């Protein structure tokens, strides 16, 4: 009995020390908050990104009235996506529908490997959605689509050019992805050097924070501010609407 109590005390002490160590490590990293202007047609839409050493949260802007939150879990190497929208597109009817009362929420969880595979291929997503067989056959169907999709031609070139964006000195990277020419300006803080911020994107080789993105000479997004130790109030590791 005494041995059991001693063992339990030792176990609790070990757990406590691990928790304290993890808390200290988490506090030693200063999180980043980036505010963006996104340029879509004639609109400028605001979005935000939050970066820590274990979690990245992105508000992705695709079209107005659609909220897409992307939660990147760096420890578990998985991405939780949440889509909140009152407009939706029907590929079958080639029409866009909207409603003030019909709010649609969709969720999924995908592994990093899914993004690595799809980023390298030119997938016909319209055809993919129309022929989607359902969750039961998702993996088999996705592998078939990947086999049949051609590879993207991707070339990187990092230059010595610099530019100040939101009071930070940024470096330039030039990408050629198939027929599209990208000009990326990025900022790499010292404490982000070991964190692959863009691991699941087509820009996975770009280190640090993307501050400006241009495609074929057209500005797509630009950072307007970078803050430190600003984090959403909710714990997004468990956030699923």
Q: What is the pLDDT of residues 132-158, one digit of tens each?
A: 888 788 889 999 999 999 999 999 999
Comparing 69 with 170, the larger pLDDT belongs to 170
Task: State the average pLDDT for the chain.
Answer: 81
CB 104 within 8 A of CB 82: no
Please list the residues that pair with 76 across neighbouring strands.
none
Q: Which domain holds residue 228?
A: 31-238
The confidence score (pLDDT) of residue 108 equals 84
Please check whether residues 141 and 24 belong to one and the same domain. Answer: no
pTM higher than 0.85: no
Average pLDDT rounded to a whole number, residues 41-53: 89
- Cα separation of 238 and 241, whole Å? 9
Residues 160 and 200 in one domain: yes
The verdict on 15 and 36 lying in the same domain is no
Shared domain check, 144 and 74: yes
Distance CA 1, CA 22 (A): 32
Whether the predicted pLDDT of 131 surpasses 70: yes
4/50 same-domain check:
no
- Indicate if the pLDDT at residue 221 is higher than 90: yes
- Which has more confidence, 222 or 23? 222
Length reported for the chain:
241
Residues 39 and 83 both lie in one domain:
yes
Distances (CA, A) of 107 to 57, 64, 147, 200, 206: 15, 19, 26, 18, 28
């Amino acid at each position: 009995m005494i041995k059991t109590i001693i063992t339990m005390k030792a176990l609790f002490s070990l757990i406590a020390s691990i928790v304290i160590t993890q808390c200290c490590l988490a506090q030693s990293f200063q999180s980043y908050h980036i505010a963006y202007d996104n340029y879509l047609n004639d609109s400028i839409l605001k979005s935000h990104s939050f970066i820590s050493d274990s979690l990245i949260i992105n508000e992705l802007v695709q079209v107005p009235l659609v909220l897409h939150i992307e939660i990147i879990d760096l420890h578990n190497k998985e991405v939780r996506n949440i889509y909140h929208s009152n407009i939706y597109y029907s590929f079958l009817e080639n029409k866009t529908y909207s409603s003030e009362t019909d709010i649609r929420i969709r969720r999924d969880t995908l592994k990093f490997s899914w993004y690595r595979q799809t980023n390298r291929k030119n997938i016909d997503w319209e055809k993919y959605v129309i022929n989607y067989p359902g969750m039961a056959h998702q993996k088999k169907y996705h592998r078939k689509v990947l086999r049949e999709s051609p590879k993207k031609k991707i070339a990187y070139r990092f230059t010595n050019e610099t530019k100040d964006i939101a009071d930070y000195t940024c470096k330039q990277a030039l990408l050629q992805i198939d027929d599209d020419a990208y000009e990326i300006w990025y900022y790499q803080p010292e404490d982000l050097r070991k964190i692959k911020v863009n691991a699941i994107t087509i820009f996975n080789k770009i280190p640090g924070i993307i501050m400006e993105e241009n495609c074929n000479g057209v500005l797509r997004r630009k950072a307007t501010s970078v803050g430190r130790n600003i984090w959403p109030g909710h714990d997004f590791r468990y956030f699923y609407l």
